[in-house]
């Protein structure tokens, strides 16, 4: 998989059998944060953080991180979600929302410094996330304009496998935005207290 960094900081994935694609890391972070919030114990109960991305978590962490506490919240809950999903389903040779190919994860991690420097402009987004009061992940992603109608329609093709512990996203992962959207939306196939892990096979 060949990666090219564009001037706006997005990543273009080199041509392969599914064509070139662009991943917007701001968008990817937002997807991860919304899924992480919907999976907390006061909502879908997929991982054992409780309102950490809600107003309660913000109030606690703001004491130690007055400017960047939203990102401290996000990193913490995303780490817990990643760990929980790894327990539910071993995704060897596959991409999940939390575990993309190493080159993409390295590029994503490199964005944190810029996000922290621009923390103020992210406040409205995190306020919207803190206001999520329903475990309806699809509704949350739609309300925050992170997925398109076509993404929601395509969700019908995401089917549970592996004893209900995972859902297979059609096609292979090659950096396509539509597949990344399904890696987020696919969590909606889980039930309260019973997460499923959406995954896509990684192409060479």
The 10s digit of each residue's pLDDT in 66-94 is 568 899 899 999 999 999 999 999 878 89
SS (H, E, C) the chain: CCEEECCCCCEEECCCCCCCEEECHHHHHHHHHHHHHHCCCCCCCCCCCCCCCCHHHHHHHCCCCCCCHHHHHHHHHHHHHHHHHHHHCCCCCEECCCCCCHHHHHHHHCCHHHHHHCHHHHHHHHHHHHCCCCCCHHHHHHHCCCCCHHHHHHHHHCEEEHHHCEEEEEEEECCCHHHHHHHHHHHHHCECCECCEEEEEECC
CB 167 within 8 A of CB 160: yes
Burial class of residue 193, CB neighbours in 10 A (0-12, 13-18, 19+): exposed
The pLDDT score that the predictor gives to residue 63 is 53
Q: 110-149: per-residue pLDDT in tens? A: 999 999 999 999 999 999 999 999 999 999 999 999 999 9
Q: Which residue has the higher pLDDT, 31 or 174?
A: 31
Mean pLDDT along residues 159-169 = 84
Q: Which two tokens stand for residue 146?
A: 């992170």
Mean pLDDT along residues 10-21 = 42
Out of 32-36, 174-178, 183-187, pick the least confident: 174-178
Q: Is the pLDDT of residue 101 over 80?
A: yes
Q: Is the pLDDT of residue 20 over 50?
A: no
Average pLDDT, the chain: 85
| Residue 182 to residue 97: CA distance in whole angstroms | 9
pTM score, whole prediction: 0.86
The pLDDT score that the predictor gives to residue 12 is 47
């Amino acid at each position: 998989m060949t990666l090219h960094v564009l001037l706006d900081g997005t990543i273009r994935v080199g041509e392969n059998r599914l064509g070139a694609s662009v991943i917007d890391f701001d968008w990817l972070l937002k997807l991860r944060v919304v899924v992480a919030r919907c999976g907390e114990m006061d909502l879908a109960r997929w991982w054992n953080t409780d309102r950490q991305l809600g107003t309660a978590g913000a109030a606690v962490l703001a004491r130690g991180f007055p400017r960047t506490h939203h990102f401290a919240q996000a990193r913490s809950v995303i780490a817990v979600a990643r760990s929980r999903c790894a327990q539910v389903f071993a995704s060897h040779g596959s991409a999940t929302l939390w575990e993309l190919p190493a080159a993409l994860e390295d590029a994503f991690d490199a964005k944190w410094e810029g996000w922290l420097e621009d923390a103020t402009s992210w406040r409205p987004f995190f306020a919207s996330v803190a206001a999520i009061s329903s475990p309806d992940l699809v509704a949350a992603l739609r309300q925050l304009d992170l997925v398109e109608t076509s993404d929601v329609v395509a969700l019908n093709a995401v089917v549970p496998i592996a004893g209900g512990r995972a859902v297979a996203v059609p096609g292979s992962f090659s950096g396509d935005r539509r597949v990344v959207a399904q890696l987020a939306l696919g969590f909606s196939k889980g039930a309260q207290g019973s997460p499923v892990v959406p995954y896509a096979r990684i192409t060479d």
